[in-house]
Chains A and B, each alone.
Chain A
Amino acid sequence: MNDQAMPAAGEPIVPIEDRLIHPVGERAAVTPKERMTILRQLMPEQDAQARARNFEEVNLGLPQQLAMLEAERCLQCKNPVCITGCPVRVNIPRFIDLLARGDMRAAADSLLDDNALPCVTGRVCPQESQCEAVCLRGKKGDAVAIGYLERFVADWANHHRDSAPAVPTSSGKTVAIVGSGPAGLTAAGELAKRGHTVTVFEAFHAAGGVLIYGIPEFRLPKDIVHDEVTRLEQMGVRIEPNAIIGKTYALDELRATFDAIFIAVGAGLPVFMDIPGENLKGVYSANEYLTRVNLMGAYRPDADTPVLHGQRVAVVGGGNVAMDAVRTAQRLGAAAATIVYRRGMDEIPARREEVHHAQQEGIGFEMQVAPVEVIGENGWVTGLRCVRMELGEPDASGRRRPVPVPGSEFVIDCDMVVVAIGTRSNPILTTSAVGLKVNEWGYIEVDGAGMTSLPGVFAGGDIVRGAATVILAMGDGKRAASAIDAYVRGELPVAQPEATSAAI
């Protein structure tokens, strides 16, 4: 077939798969040319019809043999651009090489050293626009399935916890982390590794932030998040739930008690469409809908917390949260669950995999459509009046914005509407903290080291950058942890506060 992939003349031809069985620590005998012939592995998935009605995980994970075969596709580049494509700078070629050698413990240690939550990122990262987007293997054929391999190694580590993680010697320094989402948990892990005493304050009754209230079970099983949190606790991290900074404790109290603070409260407030009928029964923010289902467990029939089981559900928005909401509605028994998005399929911001999975599951897509009114009867939603959109003339920025097509109004019959068009900053902490500088949208301003206008107070994740991804928040958490480590050791120069009117 491909004679370039053949072994040298005279040797028997052994399929690559069979060459993967080799002593731990050794690489299989695969030539560079053969390497290029291995096709990217496909992620085994739960059957689309079946999974559209259950909350079990969609992706099932690669079996070890296929993971090792996929690992053979990695070119082990001298200049690994995939690492720079990763917001937490995971040394990707290193863990893939160790995986290819069958040295699972070393691969797991390597991965965990770089990434505090690999079971999470291996499932929810948009790899196609990060590490895999720049993967050189992708220049000829498909990129290495880095995300699948990360998940494989991370899950192996999770299932092979022979001993509790090492607790380093105490530095004698204390750090408070506000918020236990991806940024907060990552920072907690990094700081604990460096010997600092870490307390994480969480407003909800359970730790995990968006990982437990937002991302559904079928995409990220909650047991995985609990395992990650438990591992941090074993490292000495203390989690204080039911603690709202700005209500239960003031930021100033934390400043008086801790050597440094990392604020990672996320961008938790829902944005509504501001159209008539939005307060009808059956209209949810995605936050409320997903929190009821995920954090409060309302997808289980015996749950105490109720959630409406819409039969015809319209979800407004095109991001990952919208995909999560619409697929949740389908799993809760909706006969029709439809995405309503004002731009086209090419502009949809959700991960490609989520859109693909949603399509497989029979989710409807009303594209280039904008809602103008929620219609109701007796207080309940009965429909969503929409208008078709087309791309208008380029605006000042040169970008063509969607504009309504005159006379194109139509109604989507529905008994439930979920609004998933974004979030904004929660002012509870920021408005109660004296001297903490925020921008015009209420997001916290930080310097290059991630420090806010208050010395010793750092911030990261969505409360700094606005709604973004889990991995970007984790990157912030990791960078802030380094800066905080330097700060509490007295090695981070602190700029003198500017004499601005805001500071006076």
Chain B
Amino acid sequence: MIGVSGFKFNTCFGCRQDERRGQYRHMETAKPFQQTKPIVQVDRLTKKIGSTTIIHDLSFDLYPGEVFGLLGPNGAGKTTTIRLMLGLMSITKGDVRVHGYSIQTEFEQAIAHVGAMLESPEMYPYLTGYENLVHYARMVSGVTTERIQEVIEWSGLHDRIDEKVHTYSLGMRQRLALAQALLHAPSVLILDEPTNGLDPAGIRDVRHRLMRLTREEGMAVLISSHLLPEMEQMCDRVGMIQKGRLVDIQSIRGFAHKSKHVRVSLTVHPLHKATSWVQERYPQNIEQVRKDGLEISILREHIPRLVSGLVQAGLQIYEVRVTSKTLEDRFLEVLGGHPLEKDHPPDHE
């Protein structure tokens, strides 16, 4: 447990897999996002290098307890945005405020609430894991030895913490970098491509840790990625960046539950019989007829009725799958036909 104060939800990470309670929870969490004050406000952020503008008028807010994703193809400006937010690069126009403190004029107060991990987890290779943590602990006030121990336990690195970092695997360095970011119990966590180069188990591990931090500690998390499936799994809201502009912000959880119709992929035999059966009862809903099945857009609560009807009609059902295709379609739409990379490794829960 990381001892961050205050904001707690009465839900645990495990609820995510539980559909019924999950729905309830999403309704609950949807409200605090709008009601609470944002922790981070990105306000018309603009960055010019020479005469080229690389970030155009970017605005969004980060709320406690949410995971906000910055999604966009490589080179869209995700990393630059993050560096501007962290004060690593100077801001040409606009501002970033953390708890109301400007990152430009009140850097020390603003950054004190922020923990970050940037791209590849770069720690001092010639120091031990523990020394790396001590190094960063010395730079903030109030981090005790107990706190360092707590973070080490949290990261699961206690067995190897006294070994030099250059002996660590990428996953271990990732966890150490995450531990470093959490050391001073920040209320905002900013992660640039946190799962880059990790194997599926590592990605899942990062995801679980992030979920715990936001749901249990009420932390606000900003992550960037160019991988859509990853964002779908981790984020509550996703901002899409292209060519330095924020083109759209989508609420992912809201999306899955607010929209009444879901797309169902059926693999069924014999197909012609099934097609005519569905056409009779749900004439408007057939989206596509495939070689081996159908794609149907249907109200979520009608799925059981559809399935039992098909069974009673004597059809053989091989597969029923909800494919929320629409989200990806939306991304493709706003990104203007620049498909996102889909080389995401299979990640089964």
The answer to whether A and B assemble together is: no
